[in-house]
C-alpha cells in the first residue's frame, strides 16, 4: 500500500468541493475534510483495498451526519440579512435559489445528488458510500431532481410525513 498517502492527497480537492457543497461554509468544510483525513490516516490499517475515493467519501459523509446530529440537539439561530429578501434580482439570485432548493432536500437526497452531479460518481459508488442498494440511489436522485425542478419552477414545496 505504498500509494495510500498519495491517493489520499489526490482526493483532497474533490473532498473539499463535496464538503463545501454539503456545509455551505468554507471553514466548516475545511474542518470536515481535515477530520476525514485524520481519521483515514489513523485507520490506514482498516483499508483493505478497493476504491480509496469511495472510502474517503464514506468517512466524510458519516462525519457530516454526526455533525448534523449534534447540531440538531442545539437550538438554532438564524440571522436575517438584507440580501436575503425574496425579491432580490441579479445574477446572484439564481445561485441563492439553487442553494435554497438544495437546502430543502432531505439529507440523503442532497448527498446523493451532490455525489452524482457535483462529483460525477457512478450510482454503484454512491450506493457503496451510502450503504444502500443502487435502486435506492436512483430513487433518491430522481426525487431530488424532481423536487429541485419544482422548487425552481415556483411550486410550493411538498410536506414530508414524519412518523
| Annotation: CATH topology of 91-157 | Arc Repressor Mutant, subunit A (1.10.10)
Can you read off the three cell numbers belonging to residue 64? Answer: 457530516
Architecture of the domain made up of 1-74: Orthogonal Bundle (1.10)
- What's the pTM value of the predicted model, to 2 decimals? 0.63
d(CA 57, CA 5): 15
Residue 3 DSSP one-character state: T
**For the packed helices 4-23 and 52-72, what is the interaxial angle rounded to 10 degrees?**
40
Cα–Cα distances in angstroms (integers) from residue 118 to residues 36, 83, 109, 113, 162, in the given order: 19, 26, 13, 8, 29
SS3 call for 87:
coil
Query: pLDDT tens string for the chain (163 positions)?
Result: 468 888 899 999 999 999 998 888 899 999 999 999 999 999 888 888 788 888 999 999 999 988 888 877 776 555 555 445 455 454 445 556 778 888 888 889 999 998 998 888 899 999 998 899 999 999 999 999 999 888 888 765 555 666 6
Place of cell 440537539: 73
d(CA 129, CA 101): 23
Q: What is the pLDDT of residue 101?
A: 83
Given a contact cutoff of 8 angstroms between Cβ atoms, the answer to whether 55 and 47 are in contact is yes
Instruction: Tell me, yes or no, if the two domains 1-74 and 91-157 fold the same way.
Output: no
Q: What does the domain layout of the chain look like in residue ranges?
A: 1-74, 91-157
- For the chain, what's the residue count? 163
Amino acid at each position: 500500500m505504498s500509494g495510500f498517502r498519495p491517493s489520499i492527497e489526490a482526493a483532497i480537492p474533490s473532498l473539499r468541493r463535496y464538503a463545501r457543497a454539503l456545509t455551505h461554509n468554507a471553514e466548516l468544510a475545511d474542518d470536515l475534510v481535515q477530520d476525514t483525513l485524520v481519521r483515514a490516516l489513523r485507520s490506514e490499517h482498516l483499508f483493505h483495498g478497493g476504491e480509496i475515493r469511495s472510502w474517503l467519501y464514506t468517512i466524510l459523509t458519516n462525519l457530516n451526519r454526526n455533525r448534523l446530529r449534534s447540531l440538531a440537539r442545539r437550538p438554532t439561530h438564524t440571522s436575517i440579512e438584507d440580501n436575503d429578501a425574496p425579491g432580490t434580482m441579479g445574477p446572484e439570485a439564481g445561485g441563492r435559489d439553487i442553494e435554497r432548493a438544495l437546502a430543502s432536500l432531505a439529507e440523503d437526497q442532497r448527498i446523493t445528488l451532490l455525489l452524482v452531479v457535483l462529483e460525477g460518481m457512478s450510482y454503484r459508488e454512491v450506493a457503496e458510500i451510502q450503504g444502500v442498494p443502487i435502486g435506492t440511489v436512483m430513487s433518491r436522485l430522481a426525487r431530488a431532481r424532481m423536487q429541485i425542478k419544482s422548487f425552481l419552477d415556483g411550486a410550493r414545496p411538498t410536506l414530508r410525513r414524519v412518523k
